Structure 1
Amino acid sequence: MAHIAQFTAAEAAFVLREPVRTVKKSLDLGPVRPVLVRRAGAPVRAIEWRDLFYLYAVRALRDELTPKARSEFYEALHQTPVELRDEVRFGRFRVSVRDLVQEVERRTSDLAALAEKVEFRADGEPLLKGTQVEVYRIAALLDGGASIEQVLEDYPSLSREHVETAKAYAEAYPKAGRPYPRTSVKRALQGAGLEALDDA
């Protein structure tokens, strides 16, 4: 399977299950070589699948590779397509990578599947598929401290999977521009003691 996709730091963080700031630091430190790509009209750093695989592999092998060996491993990955072999050889090392490749492929498939759970309004705003509810609105509520159960109370048409999708999508594809409020109108009214207005 050829890997030609490029991944932003946020997408890589989703695959690696790490905070975006940790991934950005890895891109700053090297040896990974990010390139600038345009996403949503703005230039962002992105890495190829091989670089993403390297970041995953060095975390899995952190106790076995010295800093020098990591650099050699990176260069070896860029000389022969890793997906075409079971191991990577460099210096006196042979590293079995089949299980690591399979795991990164599984995780990048999860990222692709996430995109399938979202559809877009005419203005480009992502909506939870089959609803008219904005992905980033739900993610903002979770960021504001609401539990999944509280979100489901405020949006009874949504399922738990919808809410989890919103959270994951917003992490992998952060919202540009003005954020959504971190509390729902219903909870804001309750907090102000104006519950009766909500029923009016």
Structure 2
Amino acid sequence: MRRALPGKAFGLRLGGVDHLPSVAIVPFAPSMLFLKTVASLYIFRWTGRFNEMDAMMHSAMEMLKATEAAVVSRVSLRDVNRVIDERILPDTLVSLDNGRHVVAAACSLITFYFESAKRLTSEERLFAIRSAEPRLRRWDRTATAEMLKADWTVRDEFLTIDLRPFFERSIERLARLDAARELVISSADILGGTPIIGGTRIPVHDIAAAMAAGVPEDEILEDYPSLTRDKLALALLYAEANPLRGRPRPLLSGLPKGSRKLSEHRVPRRRAG
């Protein structure tokens, strides 16, 4: 839609580009410098309105941090940064305000792009992403059921791609992330705000670190009877989506009460020289 600046229009329009608004000039003989100044000012105002509307659109969507998007997409953080930097994901599905964020439903496209790399060319994958973008841009939680029933087939001449499995898996993974968020709480009154598993004083990142170090689940469950295997999985998921900053702290500053030493191995210290 074209709009005119305040004033009486007499048929002069600046700019012939479709996406620029019409500009009306007050009825006097303007100089070229005046026309350029008015055009620059109005284009600046219009661009500002566009960015503001773009920000409002993103605020209405469910956005994930880059680390959360990596967890839902089942890819590395480096891969998420790549789809943002190389604009593999359309700009409408990405926000760079206050850090990098991705529309939650767009995780299905991230998964699709990397998992189909051996079967489809880059051009074919980008075509599928561009075709699905309008639908995912309008996604919200209330529309999930209807979108799962929709046809997710993308066609281009002899090419047929079904994006439904990727969308379904992303929605399931997003539900697990929701469950992990509900499991973990953080309060300044408990361990100085350290994220803990609800109903306990167990730091969630300590559990995740123990699992990453290879401590058997059975051993963790024996030491912490209030936990379950599902809670362990959710703790690991939460820690991956919300990694600690800075140097990782030691798992244990000392053996906690009730723990037992299973084995000990001493390494001789090598002398210099």
C-alpha contact (below 8 Å) 2:105/2:171 kept by paired residues? no
Which residue of 85, 103, 108 corresponds with 2:169? 103
Structure exhibiting the larger radius of gyration computed from Cα positions: 2
Could you tell which deviates more after superposition, 81-90 or 173-182?
81-90
- Which residue of 1 is the match for residue 232 of structure 2? 163
Question: Which runs of structure 2 are paired with 1:61-140 in the superposition (5 Å)?
Answer: 61-81=116-136, 84=147, 85-89=150-154, 91-92=156-157, 93-122=159-188, 123-140=192-209
TM-score after normalising by structure 2: 0.56
Could you tell which deviates more after superposition, 184-193 or 81-90?
184-193
Could you tell which deviates more after superposition, 64-73 or 19-28?
19-28
C-alpha contact (below 8 Å) 2:195/2:203 kept by paired residues? yes
Structural RMSD (CA): 3.3
Which residue of 140, 146, 152 corresponds with 2:215? 146
1:124-160 alpha-carbon deviations (Å, 9 max, x no partner) = 4221111111111222233344332343354444333
Match of 1:31, SS state, is coil
Distance 1:89 1:159 in 2: 42
C-alpha contact (below 8 Å) 2:180/2:238 kept by paired residues? yes
Q: Which has the higher strand share?
A: 1
Distance 1:64 1:161 in 2: 34
Distance 2:255 2:234 in 1: 22
TM-score after normalising by structure 1: 0.73
Q: Identity of paired residues, percent? A: 27
- Gapped runs of 5+ residues in structure 2? 1-59, 140-146, 267-273
Number of paired residues? 186
Query: Quick one: structure 1 residues 164 and 71, their matched pair in 2 at CA, closer, same or farther if it must change by over 3 Å?
Result: closer
Q: CA deviation at 1:112?
A: 1.0
- Gapped runs of 5+ residues in structure 1? 39-43, 194-200
C-alpha contact (below 8 Å) 2:109/2:166 kept by paired residues? no
2:61 is aligned with what amino acid? I
1:45 is aligned with what amino acid? R
Distance 1:161 1:75 in 2: 37
1:81-140 alpha-carbon deviations (Å, 9 max, x no partner) = 486541354643443333332222112111111211112222442211111111112222
The list of structure 1 runs, each at least 4 consecutive aligned residues, that deviate by more than 6 angstroms after superposition, is none
